[in-house]
Structures are given as C-alpha cells and as structure tokens.
Amino acid sequence: MLIAVILEIRTSRIRARHVDRAIGFAVFGILITITATVSVAIFAVDRLPVLVLRSSWTKFDIFLLLAQLAVLIAAIGLILGVLRSRNLIFLLMSLVLTAMAFSQILSIAGPGRYTLGWTVGRLSWFLAACVLFLFFMMQFARQQNLLLRTHEVLEERVAARTVDLTGAIQQRDLLLRELHHRVKNKMQMVDALLASQARYAGGADARQGLQDVRSRVFALALAHQQLMQSDFGTFDLAPFLRQLTDNILANRAERAVELTVETCPLMVTIDFAAPLGLLATELIIDSLDHSIARGGRIALTLQRNMAQAVVLTVSDNRLAISTQAEADPNRALHRVRIIRGLVAQLDGAITERYSDGRHVEIVFPAQEASP
C-alpha cells in the first residue's frame, strides 16, 4: 500500500497503453509473494523465529508489529499530507489503513492473541472493509444513474435530430420534385414548339427530322418524369423504355412496323436512364429509317448477362449491310457519332453484326445500373 501511495504521488504517470501491463505485473508479483510466504510458513515452520510464546507476543513479534505500524502511519501521512483530495479512492484507502493501524496498536497493547485488544483490532478491519465495500457500491450506483441519464439525454438528442433530418429530407424531396417537374414542363414546351415548327416545315425530311428531335426531347423529359414519380433515387427502367418506344412510333407516320420491347426489371438512376433513353431512341430511329419500306420488325431487349452486366440489344430485319446507305451521308455520320458518344458516356462496349438483319449489342458495366 505504501508503494501504491508513492507511485500515485509521482508526477510521471503510467501511460494508458501500459496500464494493463502494470496491473498484470502487480498481480503476478503479489501472487508470487503470497505463494512464497505461505510455502515458507508451511515447509520451514520449525526454522522460523518464535513470534508467540503461549498467548503473548515475543519481542521479535512486537518489533514486526511496530515496523508494520510505522509503514501504515507513513502511508496515511502521505495520503493526508500530499494527496489529500486529489484521489478519493486513496482517501478511502486511508480509512482502511487507519483501521489497520488502530488494530496493530490494540494488538501491541493486548498484548497477545485472543485478548480484547486483538479481537477489537480484527473487528476494526472488518468494519473498514464494510465501509470500503459500501463506498464502491455507492460509486457503482452513481455511475449507473449517470449512465442512465446520459442514455436518456442521448435518446432525446437522437429523436430531435431524427425529426430535423426527416424534415430536411422532406423539404429536399419537395424541392427535387418541383425541380424535376419544372424541367419536364420546360421540355414539354420545347416539344410543343418543335411540333408546331414541324407542321410548317418545307419538306418531308425536315418534318421527320423535327419529329426525331421531339423523340429525343421526350426521352429526357420522360426520365425526369419517372424520377419525379419515384423516391428520387432510382426507378424501374422497363416501363420507361416501353413508354419511350411507344412515343417514337407515335412520331412516325408509318404504322406498319412491328416493334417489340422485352426488358428485365432494373432499378437505375437518372444518370444512367437519360443517356440510355437517348441511345435507344437513336438506335430505333435508325432501324425505322432502314426497315419502314419493307414493313420491318424491330426488337429491343434489355437483360443482364452471366457477369450481371447490362446488355441492350436492338435488332431489325434489314436485308443487308448495303441497306444502311442514307440519302444524306452527313445525317448517317451524325447519328453514328451520337450513338458512340452515348456509349462512351456510359462506359459501354458496342458490337454490330448482320445475321437475318442487323443486331446492335451494347454491354454496360453492372455498377452503372445498380439499384
């Protein structure tokens, strides 16, 4: 105990990462000391000096009691004189040390075992231990009450923060809904202007070109509409593509084309859906330009492959590669540039093959269309 008091008085403290090691050394040292003392008392009892003669202490035992009393008084003096109120645990420890010192005084004055002084001394040890135990129980109860109050305060703060965040999320959703609604309305205005201009266009190619532009604008407006009707995170791509293809056919004067759409359920963001919608629009318009004259068939499929990547396929029944020839080569080159630019934007890879018509397959990374 005296060593513990001296260590507490030292200015240099044990570092936090060394506390467990220090406790381990202390416990190990105490166990070794106790084991050695008990072993000596058991196996070398005949060689030890006599401490009790009949029921009285010997002079050597009184010397040991006085030495122990001096150590106890030194520890008590250091606690009360140096530590004072710096450490409440050591103040309580001084109470135990005082009881032990009082017991030693009574034992010396006894002066032997089983006397009144010896018995009262042992009783004072017991009372001091009870007081120390009650102190620790009170400290434990205080810590539990403090923990309970802290928990209640944290719950109140979390609840208040949750209400604030819920309000902020609702306000954000309202603003986003209004933003996408306004964007959709602006695009509808652009679509109306294009439709009005198409009625007064000079030639069939010019009118059809404006109708194709309307299809592209519709693809962007539809993406914002789908997002506005969702949770502003993701929406299903299947109904989006079906509405998109229906609108493309509605902007075409020819009704003899058979267009089928087959898609798997796929939750996407607007960053993926908008360029994909434009890409599908360009591919279908290109197929319409090459299949209309023959009452063609067009198929659009969107599936996942074995690697969970997204695969978009647009097929038509054009007769040969030569049927790709456009009346206006610049128009064909412009469409190719748009398609390749959209594929690059989505980090996709495009392949084209001819077998009973043209088949365009574009593979996108799976993470680009994650829910």
Tens of pLDDT along 18-71?
A: 888 888 998 999 999 999 999 998 998 888 888 887 777 888 888 988 999 999
Q: Which of 210-224, 238-252, 253-267 has the lowest mean pLDDT?
A: 210-224
The β-bridge partners of 364 are: 310
Cβ of 353: how many Cβ atoms within 10 Å? 10
Residue 323's pLDDT is: 43
Confidence of residue 122 (pLDDT cuts 50, 70, 90): confident
CATH superfamily placement of domain 234-369: Histidine kinase-like ATPase, C-terminal domain (3.30.565.10)
pLDDT for 194? 67
Among 139-153, 214-228, 337-351, the minimum mean pLDDT is found in 214-228
The pTM of this model reads 0.50
Count CB neighbours of 67 within 10 A. Answer: 11
Q: What is the pLDDT of residue 291?
A: 61
pLDDT at position 329:
64
pLDDT of residue 233: 66
Q: Where are the domains of the chain?
A: 234-369
pLDDT per residue as tens digits for the range 159-169: 989 888 888 87
Higher pLDDT, 210 or 19: 19
Confidence at 231, pLDDT banded by 50, 70, 90: low
- What percent of the chain lies above the pLDDT cut of 90? 12
Q: Which residue has the higher pLDDT, 219 or 228?
A: 219
CA angle 174, 175, 176 (to 5 degrees): 90
Rounded to an integer, what distance in angstroms lies between the CA atom of residue 44 and that of residue 42? 6
Mean of the pLDDT values across residues 232-247?
A: 80
| Residue 81: pLDDT over 80 | yes
Of the listed ranges 266-275, 287-296, 336-345, the one predicted with least confidence? 287-296
Query: 87: pLDDT confidence band, cut at 50, 70 and 90?
Result: confident
From 203-212, 275-284, 312-321, 335-344, the region with the lowest mean pLDDT? 203-212
Mean pLDDT of the chain: 79
pLDDT (mean) for 227-255: 74
Residue 239's Cβ-side half-sphere holds a number of Cα atoms within 13 Å equal to 9
- Of residues 33 and 125, more confidence is placed in 33
Answer whether residue 368 shows pLDDT above 90. no
Q: Which amino acid is at 53?
A: L
Q: How far apart are CA 318 and CA 322, in angstroms?
A: 9
- The whole-number pLDDT of residue 34 equals 94
